[in-house]
Amino acid sequence: MEDERFRRALEHADDRIVAGRAADGDVEAFAVLVRRYTPMMRAYTQRMLNSSADVDDIVQESFVTAWQRFGELEDLSKVKSWLMRIVSRKAVDRIRALRPAVDIDSIDRPAPLHTSPSAVVEMRAGVAALGAALRELPDAQRECWVLREIGGYSYEEIAEELDIPVSTARGLLARARKYMIVRMEEWR
Amino acid sequence: MTDDREVPEIRRLGLEPTDLDGHTIEELADYLDAGRTPRDRSIEESPGCQLALDALQRLHGLGSELLDAETAAEPEVDPTWVERVLSGIAMDARAGRRIPFASEEPDTDLGITEGAVRGLIRAAEAAVPGLLIGRCRLTGDVTAAGAPIRIEIDASALHGQSIPAVADRLRDEVDRALRTHTELNVTAIDIAIRDIREVPTWTEEKP
């Protein structure tokens, strides 16, 4: 009963308190962060990879890294964006392991159309249309777009993460944006 | 059924330089990132650019909305998942510095880790209902026996509790625990209440 109340209190505490305990080695507090941020980290990883394969492994590895490196987190209230950065890096590592260099040929390859006309009817909501358009993007464009618009990376950071010139990252993003705008316009 | 790419409106919104009075989508994205300053008349007065800027802005806002929607749609976190993650971490990862105890026996080396001291400090919260300790720091050279040590504790209290009263109780309890279990020369215990939780259920709700 006492334990249960304590657990609930910890679940309700803000990030700074929970992350502070976790940084000090409290496993229960770390478990709260795992429960709190697994859904976000899974959702992000699936968008980065455009697949659900490997998502569990990547999210688990990210938490292991977070636990090991908690000492480096200066501002405890930023634990959420810190975890996002870690999972983003792990996802990029996975992408690079599977595809050592950005496939420049894929940059201009027309994206496969996954969306059937009947599904289009359902896509009144902007978010659903965005999700569908994102799924159709070639890999490198999608990765740039997710890093930029969901991960909040700068162009320079994207270039560094994906090991491509900044100009390439900018070009890929421009293509991704154009494609998505046109595609979403069609569905409006 | 025709190829669904050939939707007639596909070219309604033009995004090529000819549609954008010579500007490119890259330029327009940079212009938006810069908060549309300094003001560029050739962009602001071009209808094509205005349409494209609107579309870019919509697209930009949707990224975090998409993540929020998909995060909310994820299944509830399974307890076996949490166990799986926890099974992969080293429990003693944050033992910290080693704090020596003075020993009568010259050959005996006694000590306690900083992590264990933090554990003692956290355990003191049980004496103050509703209080939760966050980070705690030991400042001073804990590796030298008898060196003056300052304890800094972040904590969270429940809405409605008197903050000074809660802090005082916690301070007394931490002081007592450290005197009982360690030889630390504690010169101050600073407590910062960083968070007030609105949880009416602490005393009422049954688990």
pLDDT higher than 80, residue B201: no
> What are the tens digits of pLDDT across the range A71-82?
899 999 999 999
pLDDT higher than 80, residue B205: no
Query: How many CB pairs below 8 Å do chains A and B form together?
Result: 197
Percent of chain B with pLDDT over 90: 65
Residue type, B171: R
Residue A187 burial by Cβ neighbours in a 10 Å radius (0-12, 13-18, 19+): buried
pLDDT of B16 reads 87
Instruction: Please tell me which residue, B206 or B92, carries the higher pLDDT value.
Output: B92
Peptide bond into B38 cis (omega under 30): yes
- State whether A113 and B66 contact (CB < 8 Å): no
Instruction: Please tell me which residue, A114 or B134, carries the higher pLDDT value.
Output: B134
User: In angstroms, what CA-CA distances link B86 with A30, A91, B1, B102?
Assistant: 8, 20, 53, 36
> What are the tens digits of pLDDT across the range B128-175?
998 999 999 999 999 888 899 999 999 999 998 899 999 999 999 999
- State whether B94 and A8 contact (CB < 8 Å): no
Distance from CA of A53 to the nearest CA of B (A): 15
User: In angstroms, what CA-CA distances link B169 with A33, A95, B125, B128?
Assistant: 28, 52, 9, 7
pTM for the model: 0.85
Whose tokens are 């992969």? That residue is B88
In the three-class reduction of DSSP (H, G, I as helix; E, B as strand; rest coil), residue B115 is classed as helix
Nearest CA in chain A to B51: A181
Kindly state the DSSP code that residue B76 receives in the 8-state scheme: P
Q: Are strands B185-197 and B98-101 parallel, antiparallel or unpaired?
A: unpaired
pLDDT higher than 50, residue A163: yes
pLDDT higher than 50, residue B1: no
Instruction: Please tell me which residue, B111 or A156, carries the higher pLDDT value.
Output: A156
CA distance A173 to A49: 16
CA distance B187 to B197: 30
CA distance A110 to B137: 56
Cross-strand bridge partners of residue B153: B136, B191
Mean pLDDT of the region A148-172: 95
Contacts of B150 (CB under 8 A, 6+ apart): B138, B139, B140, B186, B187, B188, B189, B190
Q: Residue A172's closest CA among A162, A187, A182, A184?
A: A162
CA distance B133 to B122: 6
Predicted complex ipTM exceeds 0.90? no
Q: Which of A96-110, B3-17, B30-44, B172-186 has the lowest mean pLDDT?
A: B3-17
CA distance A115 to B34: 34
> What are the tens digits of pLDDT across the range B120-129?
999 999 999 9
Nearest CA in chain B to A63: B85
